[in-house]
Structure 1
Amino acid sequence: MKVLKFGGTSVANANNIGLVKDIVSNSSNKKNIVVVSALGGVTDLLIKAANLAANQDATYKKVITEIEERHLSTAKELISVKNQSSVLSKVKSELNTLETLLEGAFLIGEITAKLSDKIVSFGELLSSFIISEYFKQEGLDAIYKDSRELIKTNDLNGKAVVNFSLTYKNANTFFSGTKHAVVVAPGFIASSENGNSTTLGRGGSDYTAAIYAAAVKADILEIWTDVSGMYTANPKLVKQAKAIPHISYEEAMELSHFGAKVLYPPTIQPVLSEGISICIKNTFEPENNGTLITKSKNEKGKTVRGISSVENIALLSLEGSGMVGIPGISKRFFEVLSQAEISVVLITQASSEHSICVGISADDIDKAVEIVNNAFEYEIERGKINPVIPEKDLAIVALVGDNMKSHQGLSGKMFSTLGKNNVNIRAIAQGASERNISTVIKKGDVKKALNTLHEEFFEENVKQLNLFVMGVGNVGAKFLTQVSQQKKYLKENLKLNIRVIGISNSRTMLFNESGINLNKWEDSLEKGEKADKQKFFEKVNSLNYRNSIFVDNTASAEVSETYNKYLGNSISVVTCNKIACSSKFDNYQELKRLAREYNAPFLFETNVGAGLPIIDTLKHLIASGDKILKIQAVLSGSLNFVFNYFNDETTFHDIVKQAQEEGYTEPDPKIDLSGVDVMRKILILARESGNQIEIEDIVNNPFLPKESLDTTNNEDFFASLVKHEDSFQAIYKKAKDADSKLKYVAQYEDGKASVGLQEIPKGHDFYNLEGSDNIVLFYTERYPNQPMIIKGAGAGADVTASGIFADIIRIGNF
């Protein structure tokens, strides 16, 4: 014999009930007990009507009308016209009784627990009757049985306790005696031994099904719902969550207790004691295997089986020196909560006995504070115990698995994974069985925590990076193209899943929480909302995604001033914008500190040398114990381009214009030609070498005339270049006559830095530097005579974008 239970969503309407009929028809068992809940949402409507009536609010009648329409319309859709008369008559008769009960509550202005049980029982009574009649019409050998005749309880309405010996006797007698293939019975409802209607509380329909399964020693209990089993995490919060094929009773109870809503732990007690298997199935996808729950342990090698959560939690902490070594404190604390019917879901206590911390429903926190403070009023007045400390807006996240106790380091792995994403842990609880590790965190961090842990324990180490990109001009556009091209490769080979969630230019910004389609981002961005740097940050922060990275492809000082906000909220920053790292040393240090404190990498490899690994190499030298003695470098790809192509057959103006048009210079080319850009770069290298230096400390030897340096716009700047062409030709001729080449050189040595145009003779490392290439010479204690040389393309949108991409991959590999 098989017991099948169908929840409210499974019987919400006529269409769904048709699916239920198909499932029952296809059952391989000769005998089936079908337990059904009320039509989806009807129980809530019944409770609403009862409360309105008790408050003498006549609008309860509108709710009755809605309940009546739901049931009559469902019956009319399911039952053929020729069979409708008797069914509709019975439904209307029951609804009339319901209306009479509610009218009584309205007249006396109150509702008792006994009356409440009678009222809410109508949901299951009506649905089970309609479904049984539909089954008969469709040719199933079905019969209806009122569960109140079989399941007997005490008279404690609302929380009735089952009399199992009498119930099992009744159930055995009936089910063994019936010859019908299908018995349809209402869940949730029962009756006391003197015949009054009672209810079985939360999860009551599951409980009904489990009681019947245990009574008849069923082959299996199938619980049909709207999900395909118990999942590794809440699929509404974790898209990568998957159904667990096989799980033990204990694991299922732990997951159910911590938020897996498909099962309510007390309901499986009857089948647990009989060793009957449970299968969680999806009414809407019956072909899926679902989750099988059995007495046996899970497969070898499986440690964490699921990650679950409970929201709406508050912590209540009792502490004080007067608790140490005093027997009975814990007893009094828990007793006062118990007497107030406040359930404790988590307990943690320091071995010093100085404090006890419990997790309870946030709905009970105010009452708990009051009663506990009253209970310990004497000790609080004398300063031996502090008034209890409440903390709200919290949640519990738990790892569950039978085999967790045999694997070392799971707790550390869990805490480390959460810590890397700045999920602060407020309390920890772990039982001796080690089947459950529970942590209390901020409610706002639940989605991030679940996804982070699921990624760590279930997704074969595929790490998701969520990018928020500011600036989609030359460099930004190239960067997005590279991300789009490499997504598949990164996922397959580096186990990195990169999603671009937000992008912005100076006009508009766009967010897509599922990831922006990088093949159509230009069109989508055009239709985005008005760009706002503060709102962009607020959106990134509110999404609170794991592994969030802010990517700055601009040269904006305003954007660089927002880095501290991102880093301070555990959002990594990757930037080609040199302004932040060349700003005041205190600000540079503060950004570094925030990155360390909030575990948010701050990477800016492209600040020097575009895609060349200059800063990364420097960091490795310093980290390995080497010391920088001197740095010599050609760090401006734009200036190298200009002086490589400028000669007596060209004009300086034309070459600079060409460099600007080909993307080698900043939008304002004076930043490059004035030496400011190179000053920033050598400043960054000096700081990354461990030196405290400001940009004002760098000696700049300009080659531009003062008139060119004093211009305030590009038009005037280029006009000045034409005007002073003779002076540029003179600089070129002097170098040519010395058989030298012009290079703009940056140098740092003995705490002093300088930049300027130099004549480089043949044989020098800089002499043959072509195109827009950069070169850096690191003279160190390990490389005192023959420097470490890094050379290559140092400008251009493609190589800069690739450098940004490389920094993001570095974060992914942290």
Structure 2
Amino acid sequence: MKVLKFGGTSVGSSQNIQKVIAILDEKSIDDNVICVVSAIGGITDKLLNAGQLAKNKDKGYETAFNTIKTIHFDTLNALLPQPSKAIITTLENSLQQLKELLNGIFLINELSPKTSDKLVSFGECLSSTIIAETMKNKGYNVALKNSQELITTDDNFTRAQVNFEVTNKAIKSYFVNADQTITILPGFVSKSSSGEQTTLGRGGSDFTASIIAAALQVSQLEIWTDVSGMYTTNPKLVKQAFPIDNLSYQEAMELSHFGAKVLYPPTVQPVLDLDIPIHIKNTFDPEAKGTIITKQEQQSKHTVKGISNINNIALLTLEGSGMIGIPGFSKRLFEVLATEKINVIFITQASSEHSICFGIDNADAERAKKAIDTTFDYEISLHKINPIAVEKDLSIIALVGDNMKSHQGISGKMFSTLGKNNINIRAIAQGASEKNISAVVSEKDVKKALNALHERFFESNTKQLNVFITGVGNVGEKLIEQIKQQHSFLKKNLKLDVRIVGLSNSRKMVFKPNGIDLKNWAATFHHAEKSSIEGFYNKVVQLNLRNSIFVDVTANEDVANIYEKYLRHSVAVVACSKIACSSTFSNYKKLQDLALKYNAPFLYETNVGAGLPIINTLNNLVASGDKVISIQAVLSGSLNFVFNNFSDKKNFHDTVKQAQFEGYTEPDPRIDLSGIDVARKILILARENGIKMEIEDIENKSFLTKQNLESNSVDDFYDTLIKDEAHFQKLYASAKANHCQLKYVAEYKNGKAKVGLQEIPEGHPFYNLEGKDNIVMFHTQRYPEQPLIVKGAGAGADVTASGLFADIIKIGNI
């Protein structure tokens, strides 16, 4: 004999019921089948809502009743286009009883637990009647049996306790004489020994099936639902979640207790002692393997079997110095909760006995606080303990697995993963069996926590990076293209899944939590919302994704000023702009400190030398204990291009125009030619070397004329270049006469820095520097005579984008 249970979604429509019938047809080929069914999906909630409306003297209960009636008759008519008068009469009689019950609730203005059980019992009774009649009409050897005639309970309405001795006897007695092939039973419903209708609690249809399976000692209990088994975590929140092949009873109960809704926790108990396997199957994918739950601990490549969560948790804390060493506080506390029938989900106590912390449902929080404060009123008045503290809108995250007890470091991995993602842990509990580690976190962090933990324990160490890019001009476009091109390589070789989740330009911004399609990313802007710096930041924080990285590819001071906010929310920052790091030293230091405090990397390799590893090289020197004596560098690809192309045969104005046209200068070339850009770069290098320095401390010997420097606009600036051509030719002639090349050089030595145009002699490493190349020479204690040199292209969209990309990858590897 086989016992199958089908949930509310499985019988939620006529089409779904047809699938159930097909499964029962196949299962009954070689054995008798007992089928336990839930109410049609959503009906239990509709019944409770109708009851509440009636209780509140709201005539809307009549509309609610009519909706319930329509759903059932629509389902019947879809299954049986010409239903018999008998089934119509049966349904109408049942629904009339329901209407009379609702009318009574309306008249007396009361909905007691006893009446509530009568009310919700209609759901399963109606669905089982429709399914049984449909199968009879199709010629199946089927019978409908009311579970209330088999399952006897006490009078604890809404969560009745089963009298197994009487129940098991009734079940065996009925089925030993039953000659039908298929038996349909309503789940959830039962009857007390005094004859009153009771229910087994929400999710009780699973329990009904388990009771039947245990009483008859069947070979296997099948729970049919709308997913292919119990998942590693909630698949609605974690797209990478997958079904678990095997679980032990203990693992299944732990996962169910902590929110896995596929299985109702008490279901396990009747079959546990008899070692009857439970098989979770998918009504909509019957061929899927599903999850098998057995007594035996199963071998698995994953130490953690599943990650579950319970939302709507309130954390209550009883604390005070008067609790220390005084017996009885815990007893009194939990007696109060028991008296109020408040279920405790989570408990932890400080070893100092100074505080007891426990988690309950949000809905019970105020009632619990009032009762506890009343009980401990005397101690509170003497200031021995504090009034109970209540925190709401929390969730419990739980790691579950039988094999966790034999593996070290699971807790450390869990808490470090949460910490790295700025998920604050409010309380922790771990049983001595080590099969469950629980942590209380804010409900808003649940999705991020589940994704981060699932990635850590189940996804072959593949780390997902969620990237948000502001500025999709030339460099931004190249960065997007590089990420698209290297996506498969990074995932395969570095175990990094880089997803671009948000993009913005000066006009619009777009977000796709599951990742933007990089093959057609530009089209997403067509219907995007209006962009704003603050709006982009707010959306990043609202999405609250793990391993979030904000990439600034602008030269906007307002964007740079918001880095602090990102870091405070543990969002890593990758900056192309030099604005933040060359601002005041106090701001530079603050950003460094925030990056450390909130475990959010702040990287800006492209600030100096675009894609060249200049800052990284300097950091490695300092970190390894080397001491930098001096730095000499050509750090402006723009200026190097200009002076490599300027000559007595080509005027300075045209050379600068060419540099701007080819993208080697800013739209306003005065920024490059004034030397301020180079000054900012050497300032950043000095600061990375541990020197407290401001931009004003750098000596800037400008090669421009007073007219050039005082120009009011870009056009005016170009006019002055023409007027002052003789000045620039004089600079060129001097260098040529001395067999030198003109290079704009930045220098740092003995805590001081300067920038300016220099004549570089033949044989010097800077002499043959071509095109837009940069070069940096580090003289250190380890490189005193022959400097450490970094040289290469220091400007251009491709190399700048590659520098940004390298910083993103570096964050992924941290």
8 Å CA contact retained: 1:76, 1:84? no
TM alignment of 1:235-384, pairs within 5 A: 235-384=235-384
1:184 aligns with 2:181: no
Cα distance per residue 1:328-352 (max 9 Å; x no partner) = 1111111111111111111111111
Residue of structure 1 in register with 2:45 after alignment: 44
CA distance in 2, matches of 1:260, 1:463: 25
Residue of structure 2 in register with 1:103 after alignment: 103
Residue of structure 1 in register with 2:742 after alignment: 742
Residue of structure 2 in register with 1:578 after alignment: 578
CA distance in 1, matches of 2:528, 2:720: 40
SS state of the match for residue 274, structure 1? coil
Cα distance per residue 1:413-463 (max 9 Å; x no partner) = 111111111111111100000000001111111111100000010000110
8 Å CA contact retained: 1:315, 1:360? yes
8 Å CA contact retained: 1:609, 1:795? yes
* Letter in structure 1 aligned against 2:795: A
* Letter in structure 2 aligned against 1:795: A
Residue of structure 1 in register with 2:512 after alignment: 512
CA distance in 2, matches of 1:377, 1:660: 78
TM alignment of 1:608-623, pairs within 5 A: 608-623=608-623
CA distance in 2, matches of 1:491, 1:697: 45
TM alignment of 1:650-665, pairs within 5 A: 650-665=650-665
RMSD: 1.2
TM-score (norm 2): 0.99
CA distance in 2, matches of 1:66, 1:727: 90
Residue of structure 2 in register with 1:210 after alignment: 210
SS state of the match for residue 348, structure 2? strand
Compute the displacement of 1:29 (Å). Answer: 4.7
8 Å CA contact retained: 2:302, 2:457? no
CA distance in 2, matches of 1:302, 1:648: 72
Aligned residues: 813
CA distance in 1, matches of 2:70, 2:119: 17
* Letter in structure 1 aligned against 2:54: A
* Letter in structure 2 aligned against 1:200: L
Residue of structure 1 in register with 2:14 after alignment: 14
SS state of the match for residue 312, structure 1? strand
* Letter in structure 1 aligned against 2:740: S
CA distance in 2, matches of 1:6, 1:333: 40
Compute the displacement of 1:642 (Å). Answer: 0.7
Q: Which runs of 5+ in 1 are unaligned?
A: none
Q: 1:806 to 1:574 in 2, by over 3 A?
A: same
SS state of the match for residue 704, structure 2? coil
* Letter in structure 1 aligned against 2:38: S
Compute the displacement of 1:72 (Å). Answer: 1.0
Taking only the aligned residue pairs, the percentage that are identical comes to 60
CA distance in 1, matches of 2:687, 2:117: 74
**Stretches of 4+ aligned residues off by more than 6 angstroms:** none
SS state of the match for residue 791, structure 2? strand
Cα distance per residue 1:532-588 (max 9 Å; x no partner) = 000110000110000000000111111110100101110000011001000000000
Q: 1:125 to 1:401 in 2, by over 3 A?
A: same
8 Å CA contact retained: 1:652, 1:725? yes
CA distance in 1, matches of 2:526, 2:47: 50
8 Å CA contact retained: 1:461, 1:495? yes
Compute the displacement of 1:301 (Å). Answer: 4.2
Residue of structure 1 in register with 2:54 after alignment: 53
* Letter in structure 2 aligned against 1:367: R
Compute the displacement of 1:98 (Å). Answer: 1.5
CA distance in 2, matches of 1:31, 1:475: 69
Residue of structure 1 in register with 2:121 after alignment: 121
CA distance in 1, matches of 2:3, 2:90: 26
8 Å CA contact retained: 2:302, 2:458? no
Cα distance per residue 1:656-710 (max 9 Å; x no partner) = 1111122211222111110000000000000000000000000000011111112
Give the stretch that moved more between structures: 753-762 or 315-324: 315-324
Cα distance per residue 1:461-505 (max 9 Å; x no partner) = 110001110111111111111111111111111111111111111
CA distance in 1, matches of 2:393, 2:154: 38
8 Å CA contact retained: 2:468, 2:502? yes
SS state of the match for residue 742, structure 2? strand
Compute the displacement of 1:300 (Å). Answer: 4.7
Compute the displacement of 1:527 (Å). Answer: 2.9
SS state of the match for residue 344, structure 1? coil
Compute the displacement of 1:765 (Å). Answer: 0.9
TM alignment of 1:683-702, pairs within 5 A: 683-702=683-702
SS state of the match for residue 273, structure 2? helix
CA distance in 2, matches of 1:437, 1:134: 47
Residue of structure 1 in register with 2:139 after alignment: 139
Q: Which runs of 5+ in 2 are unaligned?
A: none
TM-score (norm 1): 0.99
CA distance in 1, matches of 2:177, 2:266: 29
Cα distance per residue 1:300-353 (max 9 Å; x no partner) = 543100011111111111111111111111111111111111111111111111
Q: 1:91 to 1:440 in 2, by over 3 A?
A: same
Compute the displacement of 1:712 (Å). Answer: 3.2
CA distance in 1, matches of 2:711, 2:547: 44
CA distance in 2, matches of 1:479, 1:367: 56
Compute the displacement of 1:763 (Å). Answer: 0.7
8 Å CA contact retained: 1:2, 1:29? no
8 Å CA contact retained: 1:342, 1:364? yes
CA distance in 1, matches of 2:477, 2:661: 16
CA distance in 2, matches of 1:605, 1:87: 76
CA distance in 2, matches of 1:553, 1:501: 15
CA distance in 2, matches of 1:257, 1:197: 26
